[in-house]
Amino acid sequence: MKLTLLFVLTLATFSIFGQKTKTKTARIDFVHYPTVPVKGVQEIGIQVYTSNLPFNKDTLRLYLGNMDMMMSDVEQLSKVDYKSLNEVSITGEAGDISVHMAFGEPVIVAKEQKTYSCTPAKEGCIQYFYKVKYRLPAIVQFRNSSGIISTLELNPEMDLQFGNEQIEKHKKLDNGTSTSIQVLSFKSEVDLALAFKEMGSYSLARKGIVKQIGQMSEIIYDNVFFKEEKLKLEIAYGTGKVADYTETETAAETAINALESKDYISLQSSIDVWENWLKRYDSEDKKAAVNKNVAQGLHENLSIGYTFIKSFQKAKNHLNKAIKLAETGFVNTNEVNRLKEFYKFIERREQVEKYNADLKLTPLITAPNIKKLLGQRKFNEDINFLIAEDKFAELQEDYSKTAPAKDVSEMTIDEFLNQQQSETDKKKEGVEEISLDGRVENDMLILSGIVDANMRGKALPKSICEYPEIKVIRARNIGLTSLPLCMRELMKLEKMYINSNSFEELPDIFENMKSLTILDISNNNLKSLPPSIYTLTHLDKIYVSGNQLPEEDMEKLKEALPETKFK
């Protein structure tokens, strides 16, 4: 598979005021080196920790299309364009490079009912299925004999489908396995809803895991093997009437020649020119010789130049300045994203220099097809890489120590809320929280308006989240005003009575409460409901009267929870 990677650092930022930039293009045949130490690596150990998710090797190929699910949108599985120094094998044990992957708790963000006509078409025949927005957090960690090399977070968001599909059914026999094909289709909304309630979470989890294993494989390819690609680098120079920009154009031509001939030392003369011109930057004058447009181009040039002469911190500093300029005034989102993508390229080159700078590039051989080895029974029979053990929190802690700070625009809603909660907690630092020590007994918390009058006008203490086994919370009529966001972790909660308090809103905490059967939020001041409350299809009873909820919210809730009794 021949991919073309375009780092198009094009200055298309034109202005009707003052000066602007043009570009010259360098086209380079480039070999991406691995970002983990690969000298002497002959075995890659892959261990995937699925905790108590419904998944093992017998279910790896439950769905006919799951090899396709492991592939990226532009990939052909039979054409993996990655190379290795030598023969590399895949094992489920520790290897010269060990890859540990762990899953967090899945979340059904939203599901939308869809229909399609039966095949073959029959008059009046309609089939029903769900399109589901799904999140499955996952962390991948690379290790070798020296310890942890790097820890990475996978994108947890995906679009999945339930119904309108074919699946394989496997049955073990004395002399082997029998395989049959089953069409998963539903002819009514009720049939679809009942089937989803019975096996939807299992089906989605299995599909989600397959997709994440595919994403993990791509991370291994990118970090352990070599890849030949085409780089296209655009070097900017100034143009306009207020100054003679010949020197910047000559510097661009010199840089192009240096990059294409891989004579990176020669980049220094261009770097000196760009640094000198940046001294003329005037942020207030749009008609200045070096205005915002030209300054952004020079900073981008310097980020390229410093990257290839291995001054990575300077490269990142200049790219950050280019990003800051790109994010002021009229903002081109694609341009900003392009700059941020090049930041990843700089970090990759930094990792290569750290671990593989002294590698001698001998004739390379084709890397193993990891997705085929992990995704097909005839290849993975002897690779015991799926382990029913919870390691997500451990790997997530390692990741949090090294993860770069995220811009607000890059955060998920959960991450943003967690940050806001953390900042709020910091502001309240020094304020003693009411203790729940000794109040949780037999997995139950019982509070009363008389004994716990000191909680009136306050939030339920965050320490409630220190009891993950808790099954019952009864906190009626004690004047609570809010609940901690961490309550989303109380996955074994069965009954929650928080009626007759002073809640005006509830945090979005219900997505993982799969055991909840009774929820009483009546007689508060609620004006809206959190999105995750609509996912509580397993509720036996819900009490919602005595609030200020719009009629449309109530109708939507009743439609979402057709099997639940309303009080």
Mean pLDDT of 87-97: 91
- Determine the Cα–Cα distance for residues 78 and 279; give it in Å rounded to an integer: 53
d(CA 337, CA 67): 30
Size of the chain in residues: 567
Task: Select from 331, 350, 373 the last residue of a domain.
Answer: 331
Distance, CA of 104 to CA of 396 (rounded, Å): 9
pLDDT at residue 35 is higher than 90: yes
Domain membership flag for residue 130: yes
Nearest Cα neighbor of 506 from 549, 538, 472, 539 is 549
Q: How far is residue 415 from each of residues 405, 406, 418, measured CA to CA in Å? A: 11, 9, 5
Residues 139 and 264 reside in one and the same domain: no
Claim to verify: residue 266 and residue 210 sit in the same structural domain: no
Residue 89 resides in a domain: yes
CATH code of the domain covering residue 469: 3.80.10.10
Tell me, what's the pLDDT at 188? 87
Task: Read off the pLDDT of each residue in 450-472 and give the average, rounded to a whole number.
Answer: 85
> Domain of 558?
436-566
Q: Do 517 and 536 form a contact (C-beta atoms < 8 A)?
A: no
Region 438-459: what's the mean pLDDT?
81
Q: What is the pLDDT of residue 415?
A: 53
Classify residue 34: in a domain, yes or no.
no
Asked if the model's pLDDT at residue 76 lies above 50, the reply is no
Asked if residue 134 and residue 209 are part of one domain, the reply reads yes
Across 4-13, 370-379, 466-475, least confident range: 4-13
Whether residues 521 and 455 fall in one domain: yes
Say yes or no: 56 and 197 in one domain: yes
Instruction: Please write the tens of the pLDDT for every residue from 226-284.
Output: 998 889 999 999 888 888 989 999 999 999 999 999 999 999 999 999 999 999 888 88
Same domain, 505 and 554: yes
Q: Do 120 and 218 fall within a single domain?
A: yes
Instruction: Examine residue 449 and state whether it is found in any structural domain, yes or no.
Output: yes
Nearest to 104 by CA among 421, 488, 503: 488
Q: Are residues 77 and 199 in the same domain?
A: yes
| CB of 21 closer than 8 Å to CB of 238 | yes
The predicted structure's pLDDT at residue 58: 73
pLDDT of residue 402 exceeding 90: no
The answer to whether residues 387 and 264 belong to one domain is no
Residues 64 and 209 in one domain: yes
Task: Evaluate whether residue 282 is within a structural domain.
Answer: yes
In a domain, 33, yes or no: no
Is 322 domain-assigned?
yes
* Cα atoms found within 13 Å of the Cα of residue 346, Cβ hemisphere only: 25
- pLDDT tens, position by position, 502-542: 898 999 899 889 899 999 999 998 988 988 898 898 899 99
Do both 378 and 290 map to the same domain? no
Average pLDDT, the chain: 83
Residue 355 placed within a domain: no
Rounded Cα distance, 172 and 483, in Å: 49
Torsion over CA of 453, 455, 456 and 462, rounded to 10 degrees? Answer: -160
Could you give the CA distance from residue 293 to residue 238 in angstroms, rounded to a whole number?
Answer: 9
Mean local confidence (pLDDT), 93-98: 92
- Considering the domain architecture, whether residues 107 and 249 belong to the same structural domain is answered as no
Nearest C-alpha neighbor of 83 from the set 363, 360, 345, 351: 363
- For the record, the structure tokens of 321 come out as 């300045």
How many domains are contained in the chain? 3
Domain boundary among 308, 331, 354: 331
Residues 89, 518: Cα–Cα separation, whole Å: 52
User: Does residue 428 have a pLDDT over 70?
Assistant: no
pLDDT of residue 543: 93
User: Lowest mean pLDDT: which of 214-218, 312-316, 330-334, 528-532?
Assistant: 330-334
